[in-house]
Chain A
Amino acid sequence: MKYVDEFRDPAKAKALIANINGLKDSLNANEKKPIQLMEFCGGHTHTIFRYGIEPMLPNWLELVHGPGCPVCVLPMGRVDDCVALAERPDVIFTTFGDAMRVPGSKKSLLQAKADGADIRMTYSPMDSLELARKNPDKQVIFFGLGFETTMPSTALTVLQAEREGVTNFSLFCNHITTVPTIKAILDSPEMQIDAFLAPGHVCMVVGERPFDFVASTYNKPIVVTGFEPLDILQSIWMALKQLADKRCTVENQYSRIVPPDGNAAGLAAIDAVFEIREFFEWRGLGSIDHSGVKMKDAFRQFDAEMKFKLPNLKIADPKSCQCGEVLKGVIRPWECKVFGTTCTPETPMGALMVSSEGACAAYYNFGNLPELLAKRSKSIEGDAA
């Protein structure tokens, strides 16, 4: 964890924190009912914890770490599908390394690999396509996951495979979309979030417009945010300033990367290959309408879901898992009953403990564990009394 003095520009960081503190009165904020600000993106969560941003903030402000870690929200049934695909003798299953440890109902990909399945980690879908070229007698499947940030990459790879006529390459598409998910969070009855930090690299692809509804329909400020610690402090200040001024609009803190209209070529590739699914299942959040994409029918020969038979079972999250409440900001990660005891990064029960971008893993790795566990037993006693 860092201290403000170690920031690249400590003077600027201190000034931003002073500005944030200065808004307390105009926000009418107090520590009993703190203002809640959600950073949607796991990349932001990562920076917030690495730089110890939370302890720098006043106690009338609470950061809620949203569901924006695509690895974390992968439901168990989907992991089972991956394992089933990978265990076919004719298949080389390729995936980003992050997805290897996500628990399925029986095993993770890492365990399936240990059991003999041909699973290989690739850095890029392009590398997976190259494997297909080199292994014409095998079916090479790429496990496509991620938000809009990574969709152009898989879409362009599929288009390339089509151009070259590579017939032994397919995509197991698990891409998910941010907008319906933020909408689902805003629509949930327990919702208490006051403002949002929008995912900078998703916006790099889709632009800022798709997030207009957060301000126009739900009257919440939203700020497109970069990934450096100063970006995050500045965006927090911008979002709070909107609240203080009783304004709400989409502001773009990350304009050095995010053009208002996004990336035309990336969007065209997404549009060529993918279409919206009716619904997609999320770990912790359940089914969310229109929150995922699948491949268009014209690409069925590159669609692993069409090419192979999948178990496609819905597996419920374990009962003791409270990921959904954490994701909506109803409880803090360490308040979950199994946090740090049955659920740890080595033996994750819930999604948020899996990747370093998940909120629970972040608290576990970077927080003061004994203190958090003590705080939790206090709050459980408090509930019982």
Chain B
Amino acid sequence: MCLGIPGQIIEIIDADNLLAKVDVAGVKRPVNIACIVSDDHTAQDCIGDWVLVHVGFAMSIIDEEEAIKTLALLEELGEVQEEINAMQTSAGAN
């Protein structure tokens, strides 16, 4: 819950409600992007962004190299599988 996991925004689902689709290690799910949009960075601009995802919310934009390094490390810590399990088994998500 506190470490978060990097993912890439691949599409905007609902620009009014700031919902996007994120790809986290191949698993796709909706994320809220309210914390990363601003006047200079609209919802549309978020497509392609690498972000740190905490409990379904994109909390910070990160650079791609950083994201890939972090994913590799979380993989080693066993954290990636845990997050993905939580996403896939989450009640209400499917």
Contacts and interface: CB of A to CB of B under 8 A. Distances in A.
Interface string B1-32: 11110000000000001000000000000101
Interface centre among B32, B62, B92 (most CB of A within 10 A): B92
B92 A127 contact: yes
A201 B17 contact: no
B73 A42 contact: no
Interface in A18-51: 41-43, 46-47, 50
Contact of B4 (A68, A201, A269): A201
Contacts of A185: none
Interface stretch (A52-60, A143-151, A240-248, A375-383): A143-151
Contact of A123 (B35, B55, B77): B55
Given A43-B3, A46-B77, A153 B54 contact: yes
Contacts of A127: 56, 90-93
Nearest to A2: B76
B35 A265 contact: yes
Contact of A126 (B37, B56, B77): B56
Contact of B93 (A123, A256, A264, A266): A123
B57 A124 contact: yes
B60 A263 contact: yes
Contacts of B1: 70, 96, 98, 146, 149-150
A201 B3 contact: yes
Contacts of B91: 94, 120-122, 127-128, 131
A266 B59 contact: yes
Interface string A104-145: 000000000000000011111111111100100000000000
B62 A257 contact: yes
Size range of the interface on B? 35 or more
Nearest to B79: A46
A98 B1 CA distance: 8
Contacts of A227: 3
A153 B57 CA distance: 6
B92 A134 contact: yes
Interface in B54-76: 54-57, 59-60, 62-63, 66, 69-70, 72-73
A8 B57 CA distance: 28
A205 interface: yes
Nearest to A269: B34
A96 B55 contact: yes
A122 B77 contact: no
A257 to B, nearest CB: 5
A42 B90 contact: no
A210 interface: no
Nearest to A264: B38
A152 B73 contact: no
Nearest to B18: A156
B46 interface: no
B47 interface: no
B93 A43 contact: no
A167 interface: no
Interface string A246-281: 000000000011000001111001000000000000
Interface in A211-246: 227-228
B25 to A, nearest CB: 14
A258 to B, nearest CB: 8
A353 interface: no
14 contacts: A8-B72, A8-B73, A43-B3, A97-B86, A122-B90, A146-B1, A149-B4, A150-B54, A156-B34, A160-B32, A199-B2, A201-B3, A256-B66, A265-B38
Interface of B: 1-4, 17, 30, 32, 34-38, 52, 54-57, 59-60, 62-63, 66, 69-70, 72-73, 77, 83, 86-87, 89-93
